[in-house]
Amino acid sequence: MPEPSPPAPTQPNRLKLVFVTWLGIWPLITAVLSVLLPVLLPRFPLPVVTLIVTVLVVPTMHFVVMPVLMRWFGPWVHR
């Protein structure tokens, strides 16, 4: 007799996930911009500054910030 399969994971509530993402991205972008903008903006055009900031923010958000936020808010997001 085959064992019953585990229940399928629930899909996260999209609005809650957007809110948790914003909770991580806003302070991260603010911190990166407050440190790098005074140094980069006088030297590089805005598209290059944006490229540098996003190269730093996106991986940090994906690999560092979101795992922590999902550990904290995951149960709430999946309700």
Give first-to-last CA distance, the chain, whole Å: 33
Determine whether 13 is exposed, middle or buried from the number of CB atoms within 10 Å of its CB (0-12, 13-18, 19+).
Answer: middle
15: exposed, middle or buried (Cβ count in 10 Å: 0-12, 13-18, 19+): exposed
pLDDT in tens, 33-71: 999 999 999 999 999 999 999 999 999 999 999 999 999
Per-chain mean pLDDT for the chain? 93
